Chains A and B, each alone.
Chain A
Amino acid sequence: MSNHRVRRHQSITRSHQQSWGITGIVIHWLSAVLVLGLFALGLWMTSLDYYDPWYKQGPQIHKGFGVVLFALLAGRLLWRLAHQSPPPIASHAPWERHLAQVVHLLLYLLLLIVMLSGYLISTADGRDLEVFGWFGIPALPLGIEHQEDIAGAVHYYLACTLIATVALHIAGALKHHFVDRDETLLRMIHRR
């Protein structure tokens, strides 16, 4: 935060620094669709009847897109390390900046744990995690007793926590757009 002034100066001289850029925007919205889609699919597929045609397909798609989301998250974290994120909008209060940072950090952390726990369910007996039938990600030889049950509980409860955090994230974005009427949401929609 000490180089705030420097960053703001840069952002004035280079206007595109105010935006997340096309890469950041695309990763963000793809991740958003995947997170909500995977959550809904996960709840739905575990409620299916054994004879439902989706009983086998649902989990296969859930696993495949889960791995896609993991790749997106890894790419996103690397991209954030390599690129400067746009500075907070000047009108944001310090508490808003702090809260936004905490929520973003929480989103990354929850995403990571939810995806890893999902991997640990499917690989608990040494089987590969199948990705759309294209390839398999090998299991780790952890040998934890009842790994699938422990990982399953972590996967479910932290996925619910993740969605609650996403709701907070969305509420923040909508508050900035409709109440404060600032650029927060817009700069995640288009490049300026």
Chain B
Amino acid sequence: MFKQTLITAVTVLALTAGTAAYADKYVIDTKGAHASIQFKISHLGYSWIYGRFNRFSGEFEYNEEQPAASKVAVEIDTASIDSNHAERDKHLRSDDFLDVSKYPKATFVSTGYEDQGDGKALLKGDFTLHGVTRPIVIEVRHIGAGDDPWGGFRRGFEGTTQVALKDYDIGFNLGPTSTSAEIILTVEGVRQ
């Protein structure tokens, strides 16, 4: 079992290394918290509630000459959901919503990157949440890149996407205006 996983991992690694020979690899700076995964959902249609996932990790590959070859992979610890209200977070972690004991991870793995010029792009990929995997499109904006003051090189993006709760088998009725959440990803990667 472990051996097989190892072989698969090595194969995947070799394949990705082969196809992205020219791309720079970046690790999302979650350690320094220069990255966040937030969500926004309507409350009764009268206001917005913002929340976030406090723990996640990820990396991306990007090459300015060949943006279409960009790749992103992010893994989210679903139990780290934080809407600044313990009772609500407890409810969000329960089986009415994310069921985090059963589905502790949410993942996004990109399948394509469509550069639209002017720093904008459409990032396509498979998003897994609550045990359901679906293709989504994230509207991405390149924010900036360059040397940091401490000898490294950084590059940042922001992306948004809409996630319909029922697409991910989350059936709790929050009302007709609260059927989907907007996810806002802000990532700063440190070049490796």
Contact = CB atoms under 8 A, between A and B. Distances in A.
Interface size class for chain A? 10 to 19
A146 B175 contact: no
Contacts of A147: 86
Contact of B89 (A50, A51, A123, A148): A148
B90 A152 contact: yes
Given A146-B79, A149-B93, A49 B87 contact: no
B172 interface: yes
Contacts of A49: 173
A50 B175 contact: yes
A51 B175 contact: yes
Nearest to B100: A149
A121 B90 contact: yes
Residue from B85, B90, B172 having most chain A Cβ neighbours under 10 A: B90
B84 interface: yes
Given A125-B84, A125-B85, A149 B173 contact: no
A122 interface: yes
B5 to A, nearest CB: 29
B173 A148 contact: no
A124 interface: yes
Contacts of A121: 86-87, 90
B174 A127 contact: no
B173 A127 contact: no
Interface string B166-188: 00000011110000000000000
Interface in A54-79: 59
Contacts of A122: 86-87
Interface string B81-98: 000111101100100000
Contacts of A123: 86
B90 A148 contact: yes
A41 B93 CA distance: 22
Nearest to A147: B86
Interface string A139-163: 0000000111100100000000000
Contacts of A152: 90
Contacts of A146: 79
Interface string B69-109: 00000000001000011110110010000000000000000
B79 to A, nearest CB: 7
B38 to A, nearest CB: 18
Contact of A50 (B84, B93, B172): B172
A49 B91 CA distance: 13
Interface of A: 49-51, 59, 121-125, 127, 146-149, 152
Interface of B: 79, 84-87, 89-90, 93, 172-175
Given A125-B85, A148-B87, 10 more contacts: A50-B173, A50-B174, A50-B175, A51-B173, A122-B86, A124-B87, A125-B86, A125-B89, A127-B86, A147-B86
